[in-house]
Structure 1
Amino acid sequence: MAKKVTVIKAVSGAGRKKAARKLKVCGYARVSTGSKAQAGSYATQVAYYTEKIEANPLWEFAGVYADEGITGTKTKGRNEFKAMIAACEDGEVELILTKSITRFARNTVECIQTIRKLKAMGVGIYFEKENINTLHEASELMLTILASVAQGESEDFSGNNRWSIVNRFENGAFKVGTPAYGYRKDEEGNLLIEETEVETVRWIFESYLNGMGTYRIAKKLNEQGVPTIRYSEKWQDSVIKEILNNPIYEGDSLHQRTYTERNFPFERKVNNGQLPMYLQKDAHPAIITHEEAEAVRSIMEYRNKILHIDGDKYQNRYLFSSRIICGECGSTFRRQKIYIGKPHEKIIWTCHNHVENIENCKMKAIREDAIHQAFVTMWNKLCTNQGIVLEPMLKALMEQAENRSDTKEMEQLNTEIHSLSEQSQILNQVMKKGYMDSALFMEKSNLLAQQLTECRRKKTMLNRRQKRTKEIVRTEQLLTLLKEEGYQREFKEELFDLTVKEIRISKSHAITFCLKNGLKLTEKEGGEKDAVAHTHRI
């Protein structure tokens, strides 16, 4: 008996294309200087990627990210680059178009790390010049080689500059670019005393020698309205410390006090003996004597070693730095130690405004261990009540995303943008073949350009509204973390860092943890409150 076989017909290519979801594609452009000569290149790259993406019927335009006047040797400071990576993490971008590896990064390590990070999320990068798509299997070896070549070019250039500078250090021919506070340069680059600033410098040294600390000196200068160094907002104790430590004020030039690393990412660091320094005695007019400078150094060393103040610890960034917000004035809190050297030594966090002027803010300091305990209490309550708080919240967010009417509006805008782009291309072809009068072409072209601009503006506004989908991702991550970590008996820095965006302290010392998924949970200092009662949506 013959077996019965049913043939299932293949779906045509055209049918598959219609069913396929469009790929979210963005462009990334960068020019390495902010000069007028590069401005044209910057604008051209932005326009090029906008037109290229919108012209492809299989792609959905996800924007163009462009950094102008930024170096490619490291991602620090490249705000558009960071925004693009964040968009990839939130599922808003699935493919990045960029001109070449040198436009994307000149740092092999960061380049490969970024590529691998994006690849793990299913996001590809297409380098046009090299014709490489990072989602293809053979791409990584070639990218490593090409990125290394690009990095080598930057290292050679940096090495040549370094040799030139060191040569001038050794010959005493180095000219300071920006003179220190209290000095100015003549036409030949020599340092001269700046009469409008010299009295302030002398007062700083005299005050310190008379027992006044760097914080109080900065506060006095701010109260007196003394113009700041390089027109900053206000004087800081770190700036005062830098002035007191600088041998330039006793007439000496000490070069290579800081240095740039030889390898990527070319970070600037303080020279603590890693490289030679070059001291040129009596190189320019002095503001203070050598004896006064030596006395300042002796006092500073004593205060640092014996009294544990004026040291370098203030330069470190702590876990809560810039994360604790005053509920009364909106300022951030700063870290302080009390009862130093005693058995009951404590760390407290105090409002900046309150420290500077008690009349500006009445907020009292809060102990760090109280914040630790409040976080542990909040975490454990959330862990116990995740089925009551987080899971219903996640369900509601997902339903809201599915039922959102602006999804249809976004589809309509994408269709309209695509249609207008096609009309613009047809119009250009008609004009090139001589079938249309130039005046009529300009009129039609300007009208299409205005319509395209308006559609893109609406799409940008819509994208901003749809950013709420980030809450879904963050809530899912928080649920996973709660299940993995479970109940906590003591404070863990990594858990705090992963879950909390900022802390707000009320006048009554209610501690509100603003979580990264948009949730707010409040604990009283040393108190026990139900987590559900203090759950609020942002």
Structure 2
Amino acid sequence: MTTANTAAAGAPRITVIDPRAPERAKLRVAAYARVSSDSDDQINSYIAQVDFYSKYIASKEDWEMVDIYADEGITGLEARRRDDFNRMMEDCRAGKIDRVLVKSISRFARNTKEYIQFVRELLRLGISIYFEKENIDTGKMTSEQVAQIYGAFAQMESTNHSGNMRTSVRMRMEKGLFVPPTAPYGYRLAGRDLEIIPEEAEVVRMIYSAYLRGQGKEDIARELNRLGTERGRGRQKWHPSTVHYILTNISYTGDMIWQKSYATDTIPFRQVRNHGEKPQYFAENCHPAIVSREEFQRVQELMASRREQFTAGAKPRESVYSGHIFCGECGSMCRQKISSGKRYWVCHRHDKSKADCPIPQIPETEIEQAVLRLCRKLKQGSGRILRPVLGQLRELRERELRSNRRISDIDKEISHLTEQNLVLVRLKSKGYVDSALYLSQTDEIGRKLRDLRKLRRRILDSTGEDRQIQATEQMLVYLEEIPERMDQVDAGAFEELIQRIIIVSAEQVRFQLHNGLELTEKVERAVR
């Protein structure tokens, strides 16, 4: 800095300030780490990733660490289940991050659709992503096709992993070592074994005895509801379909049939009924019986006899509509009926007595045409119908998250624990903390983080918006895959799109979709 001398008395004194280069803003860098299971090896991998990225970012003078986001012990197939990934995306949208480091594409996303969606969003926000394993920097990519190719590789890796899991399950079935993920009503899992719940077993025996005495499934369900019998797992009401499930479940004889359903080979994975596409395994005497094999067999024979009598000698084919059509007047489930070679769907009460319910039977062909029109309209108008609904649901969820004090407190605690973890990493790297203390402290912090994330997920799962968002996203994926004009209704329409069909009248049906949306369609009478 210099001072200029002036000859004139009283002239202002001028001080020249030397120019200085402004401080260069540091690049705000975050890292995302994810492991796929809760095993010890994977947890060590998680600690190693956090340690590596903490040191790596600290070694760059022009980088500033924002945070290390890490999900552990949960599936990576769907981003909605990764709490820290979603927290990172929220921070990106809030302008807190300039660059994201990820070990590999498969750690960032496990299907092409999500991969492209999030890469595009971060690029629009001006945020680059560096994938270490593939040596890809999205900030330097000239074509999105490159990203799509690598995204496809990530999906292939996920599909291969799922295939390995299915092979492992199949081998356990072949060796008789398979443990079902859930226990049927009347049993509970005790380690690797099924054990009887005495009070529920009595209900099962009562259902079998009542049916063999001549009571129908509707009457049995009505009686159980009148007695206030609990269904277990917090469910109260009994339905004829629940009674039917118990009467046809061979598990109550002490035997089991494994792989009655299976997961599809492509993303999004869906559980579908096994109609012979995959082998099934009959496990004999694998747990205590509640009813005898003879009693179970008598029930199956009686059920077949009643079914034969109902259809007047014509055996109904397996229908995709079974369990999905209900009466709009009395709420009863509709059943399939064959008359003069034609298939109809009719309300139980109307079929017994027209005075009990006025809703008439409707030909299956007319219902099928209504479903096909609905699918066509939803596919053509998804941008006007489902996508705005998805946007509104996401906005509602964001409001819920912002206003939910418990979520806010959990996020603060997660952030606080993550900061503690980073401090420990820095102290360890400088030799201030020995390895034993470091591992014990990071293990404790990791345990607390896992508990907090599980609690956060339970709170999110309890909100209706989260379930509706997932259902709407799955519906959009299904609609993208089906042709413009479907020739017939397949099981996928009910697995992904339609929850139930309600017959309002002979001229109108109402569709309840999986995301809670309800739409009506006219029934166009066929020319007779």
TM-score normalised by L of structure 1 = 0.44
Tell me the TM-score normalized by structure 2: 0.45
